[in-house]
Amino acid sequence: MKILQRYFAVSITQAVLFVLVAFLALLAFMDLTGELASVGKNGYGIGHAFLYVLILVPGHVYEVMPIATLIGTIYTMAQFASTSEFTIMRASSMSTAKAAAMLFKIGAGFVVLTFIFGELITPRTAPLAAKLKLTARGAALSQEFRSGLWTKDLLKSEGVSGATIGTRFFNVREVRQDGELVDVKLYEFDTSLRLRALILAKRASYLGNNTWRLSDVTENRFSNSAAGPGLEPNLGNNFSQETSLVSTVNSPSKDMVSEITPKILSVSSAAPERMSANELAVYTRHLAENKQEAERFKIAFWKKLIDPLSIFVLMALALPFAYLHTRSGGVSLKIFIGIMIGVSFILINTLFSHLGLLSTWPALLTAVTPSALFLLLALGALWWVERH
């Protein structure tokens, strides 16, 4: 069985790598075609476009690995069937369960490789590609938004811990590539949603430990006439504020403690599909704590964990093709069927993501359902070929 396992592994790996390279070449060509419209504008040259497309390749590896595994495995199984190798293997006491176990071991390697690209490589190359394009154009991260970058955190009695005493909204016109913020506006509200402070700063740099240093600061503090010093404001007079109770303080610098970090700012403008599971977990928790919509990121988090495991399901779906003899159709027909199955899986996976978001289905159920449906299809196909 060790020799047979090695033979399966080498044959399937060669086929999968061939299909993977073909898919990557096709996607890279499509990316390059899309970038040609930007070449020659704002200092963005053809060399930048080629480098940008090259940096995106690891992300495509993560996306197409399950489909490449499906097609490569179907091709190998169909070849075994056409040369009667699989029939000889079965006659030599290899059961369907043993064949499935061998595919499972091979699939485990592809799953690990997919996790590596999804968790370690793509979350680093995707921001690098975006940074390359923005640097070439002389742009900043948040210049893609008309009003800058917006985010929100909670004001707490002990900085990032303790009781919640209010809410703060960030507005940043520009996020530099080194993480520096330009033209910062901070709107601070109390627990009754009264505006208590408007803080303007020309620059903000991150010092670490959830601390930002603001430069050229203008701080406007608002008091409410319905509340005395140390007293809660009158809830029946929520919006009563007087300009005579506004104090303005200018200072060259001011340190501010906040839950917002450069990492949160960077992921807030990134596509969830390009983020790692750890980044998605951190950002989802941040959104939940601030009572913001996080369903899209929850679904992306579970899909990040479930999608690589779908390789096992798709390889199980490829196994029945070894039982179909040449008279049931040539190898090319079986590969075409495999491509159609792969496309169907992508479409159904995407469809359930949107349906789960619109219908507020549980994120785990939304991520698992497509793989579960195809697993049932694989088990049904194996049962059918065994009976016939």
CA-nearest of 191, 190, 193, 250 to 220 is: 250
Give CB contacts under 8 A, 24+ apart, made by 188-192: 188/155, 190/165, 190/166, 190/233, 191/164, 191/165, 191/166, 192/233, 192/235, 192/238
Sheet holding 164-175, edge to edge: 149-156, 164-175, 181-190, 195-208, 211-222, 246-257
CA-nearest of 49, 51, 57, 50 to 21 is: 57
Amino acid at 372: A
Residue 261 φ/ψ, nearest 5 degrees: -125, 165
Span 71-96, mean pLDDT?
A: 85
Q: Above 60 in pLDDT, residue 329? A: no
DSSP state letter for 185:
E
In DSSP terms, which residues pair with 159 in a beta bridge? 156
Q: Above 60 in pLDDT, residue 239? A: no
Span 204-229, mean pLDDT?
A: 79
Q: Give residue 242's pLDDT band: very low, low, confident or very high (50, 70, 90).
A: very low
* Chain segment 295-317, per-residue pLDDT in tens: 888 888 999 889 899 999 999 98
Average pLDDT, the chain: 83
- pLDDT score recorded for residue 270: 67
Span 238-259, mean pLDDT?
A: 75
Write out the two tokens for 210. Answer: 């959830």
Residue that is written with structure tokens 């977990």 in the block = 281
Q: Which residue has the higher pLDDT, 309 or 147?
A: 309
Cα separation, 178 vs 164, whole angstroms: 31
Which SS3 state, helix, strand or coil, does residue 169 take? strand
- CA trace torsion 131, 135, 141, 147 (10° rounding): -160
